[in-house]
Chains A and B, each alone.
Chain A
């Protein structure tokens, strides 16, 4: 073949390939990937939780072979550095530069609130499986900010207060980190408990990252209460549980905690000092519901640890979004329909173990487990449900309109009934 002939042939071949490729290419353009922006704190104070958030998302994407609603998924991960200013900047980057169809993630309430305020202006769907600030599904709702597989902070402590009454507890003292997440969880418990005839003897608020709990534990021991409710996250929780046991309080007074206090991210490294602590939550990794047990087993097989709230919530959140996308054929570009579809979607077969749907305010209605930390056969500790409150609304048994008239829980308003 001479050179001229070669050129002719190759030109023809290339042209043919081009013609052949053209329709394929345009089809590709239609089904361009769904871009999901994931914001997680990979550095800063809550970095370990942030990494588990990423794991949860990737774990789901692996299972669905990176395809949601019939389209490929492109995941863009950004580090919010546990800092709201950085979170805001990264959210801008994902939306304006990355052209992400949706955002998901954030761990700390302040980062989530900053991003929520930003997407209020852009209309980008933003999913918050972890951010628990009450008002995002109550007094300050933003339509495109959706709590898939997440919860509002006081939603689980309402039934917890009721459970405490049923145990015959008359007097409870609370100790909590001094920020909104703590105020809201303590408030939920305090309101239901005092309205049912219980008494909140005293409430302690301590700054985040308290190294030594002995001043508080000393006072708590003197109060002679029936139970102590503690709301702690991360390292504070580890320290409180350890010091609670070493002060000998563990044998005397039952310890009730907010769900994050006995989350796997905390008790994974702990010994018998965490055994027997009670918490209320929508997820219990030690549940024997088949879907939950399967999720726990698969996750543990893959990552070598029992899933925490972070991994579980992000996984279930992704599943929820996927369920909505399947319903609408993956047309994520139509934001209005997408948001409405998500809000109307009921989630089946999730690790939650039961069909879940949103209430009218965009907060999921769960069965709330009262769960207890017990030792597993292999010596690890996990949370096992001991009682179930079915279909718990974020407004508990109150009428939503009346409930919303009361101020949000804060250090000064704990919903405590005056006697």
Chain B
């Protein structure tokens, strides 16, 4: 008798169970604007945008074993370029968006060139330093970036003015981008990244060009961070150095960790957990940062594999 393999559906190699779950989640997400207030829809939009950012970090952290502290800067470069292109240079929002993603990709590739030969804590520090450079440039180059005050522009296209319309657009974008990232990490190329994570020397001795693979992986993840940054520009119509600051990168990494490293979609859960927590707790106490900190400590102690990771572990135990 042959081994019972899970049925693979026609759609891009998803199991039918995964397909059903994904479909349900997307439908529920699409219905949210009908039950939530406009402010909550705004929060949900933010969750999606930061979810995409956290996911782009997860490509590197979860699959190539390299945690980047520079993705907030890549994200923010896109935000800056989109706001600048539409506000100062007078381009259409869509052209601005494309330019933003392009700029983020370019910055990511520069980061990648410098960082791919390192790993572990050196990779962390190098990406951190590169991110700080971007932040410094945004802060000091007052003529272009507006310095501390930042820049304002009406970036959001007229068709997406209402909260719900914009939410649906971001949701559609997030679904497409998530699918692309999921395909990316499951592709043969993605498998080589995992190989590099598990043993760099073995991959090298098997004849793989490790730095090149990491370079491509980093750059691709930069594209996705750039898309998130472009959406954030449309969401806020505003950008300031705090968007490219270290805190932004750290927040992205924390969201990824809270959701579960290497789970990819955990990023959305992590983003939701952090953003919702931030907003609820801060309205009760000004010590909300402390509550957030304690929550992280608890997550690290009781669910070091993240929220999604923990759930997966529990469900698979039950199945057995």
Q: Chain A interface (Cβ within 8 Å of chain B)?
A: 42-43, 78-79, 83-85, 88-90, 92-93, 95-97, 108-110, 113-114, 117-118, 133, 178-180, 183, 207-208, 410-412
Cβ-neighbour of B289 out of A43, A78, A97, A208 (below 8 A): A43
- Closest chain-A Cβ to B27's Cβ sits at a distance in Å of 25
Interchain CB contact under 8 A, A110 and B279: no
- Closest B residue by C-beta to A54: B286
A207 / chain B contacts, CB cutoff of 8 Å: 139-140
- Closest chain-B Cβ to A43's Cβ sits at a distance in Å of 6
- Closest chain-A Cβ to B254's Cβ sits at a distance in Å of 16
A113 / chain B contacts, CB cutoff of 8 Å: 149-150, 152, 238
17 examples of A-B residue contacts, CB within 8 angstroms? A79-B288, A85-B242, A89-B43, A96-B42, A97-B40, A108-B148, A109-B148, A113-B150, A113-B238, A114-B152, A118-B237, A118-B238, A133-B149, A178-B142, A179-B149, A180-B142, A183-B142
- CA of A348 to CA of B195 in the docked complex: distance in angstroms? 75
- Mark out the residues of chain B between 267 and 297 whose CB falls within 8 Å of any chain A CB in the assembled complex: 279, 282-283, 286, 288-289
Q: A79-B282, A114-B240 are in contact. Are A96 and B38 (CB under 8 A)?
A: yes
- CA of A89 to CA of B232 in the docked complex: distance in angstroms? 12
Residues of chain B at interface, number, CB under 8 A = 30
B238 / chain A contacts, CB cutoff of 8 Å: 84, 88, 113-114, 117-118
- CA of A180 to CA of B146 in the docked complex: distance in angstroms? 8
- CA of A78 to CA of B152 in the docked complex: distance in angstroms? 23
Q: A43-B289, A85-B243, A411-B142 are in contact. Are A92 and B39 (CB under 8 A)?
A: yes
Interface pairs A-B: 3 shortest CB-CB: A96-B39, A97-B39, A179-B148
- Closest B residue by C-beta to A179: B148
- CA of A183 to CA of B147 in the docked complex: distance in angstroms? 11
- Closest chain-A Cβ to B232's Cβ sits at a distance in Å of 9
Q: Chain B interface (Cβ within 8 Å of chain A)?
A: 37-40, 42-43, 46, 139-140, 142-143, 146-150, 152, 236-238, 240, 242-243, 247, 279, 282-283, 286, 288-289
Main secondary structure of the interface of A (DSSP, over half): helix
Interchain CB contact under 8 A, B242 and A412: no
- Closest chain-A Cβ to B312's Cβ sits at a distance in Å of 31
Interchain CB contact under 8 A, B286 and A42: yes
- Closest A residue by C-beta to B287: A43
- CA of A290 to CA of B148 in the docked complex: distance in angstroms? 39
Interchain CB contact under 8 A, A110 and B150: yes
B142 / chain A contacts, CB cutoff of 8 Å: 178-180, 183, 410-411
Cβ-neighbour of A117 out of B43, B140, B237, B286 (below 8 A): B237
- Closest A residue by C-beta to B237: A117
Which of A85, A93, A97, A178 has the most B CB atoms < 10 Å from its CB? A85
- CA of A89 to CA of B39 in the docked complex: distance in angstroms? 9
- CA of A79 to CA of B283 in the docked complex: distance in angstroms? 8
- Closest chain-B Cβ to A149's Cβ sits at a distance in Å of 22
Interchain CB contact under 8 A, B279 and A89: yes
A412 / chain B contacts, CB cutoff of 8 Å: 143
Interchain CB contact under 8 A, B39 and A117: no
- Closest B residue by C-beta to A413: B143
Extra contacts besides A83-B247, A85-B243 (7): CB < 8 Å: A89-B46, A97-B37, A110-B242, A113-B149, A114-B150, A180-B147, A180-B149
- Closest B residue by C-beta to A94: B39
Cβ-neighbour of A84 out of B240, B282, B286 (below 8 A): B240
B140 / chain A contacts, CB cutoff of 8 Å: 178, 207
Interchain CB contact under 8 A, B150 and A92: no
- CA of A38 to CA of B19 in the docked complex: distance in angstroms? 46
- Closest B residue by C-beta to A140: B152
- Closest chain-B Cβ to A2's Cβ sits at a distance in Å of 49
- CA of A410 to CA of B149 in the docked complex: distance in angstroms? 12
- Closest B residue by C-beta to A412: B143
- Closest A residue by C-beta to B147: A179
Interchain CB contact under 8 A, B143 and A410: yes
B286 / chain A contacts, CB cutoff of 8 Å: 42-43, 79
- Closest chain-A Cβ to B317's Cβ sits at a distance in Å of 38
Interchain CB contact under 8 A, A85 and B149: no
- Closest B residue by C-beta to A180: B149
- Closest chain-A Cβ to B246's Cβ sits at a distance in Å of 12
- Closest chain-B Cβ to A47's Cβ sits at a distance in Å of 9
Cβ-neighbour of A78 out of B43, B237, B240, B283 (below 8 A): B283
- CA of A33 to CA of B152 in the docked complex: distance in angstroms? 33
B37 / chain A contacts, CB cutoff of 8 Å: 96-97
- Closest chain-A Cβ to B161's Cβ sits at a distance in Å of 9
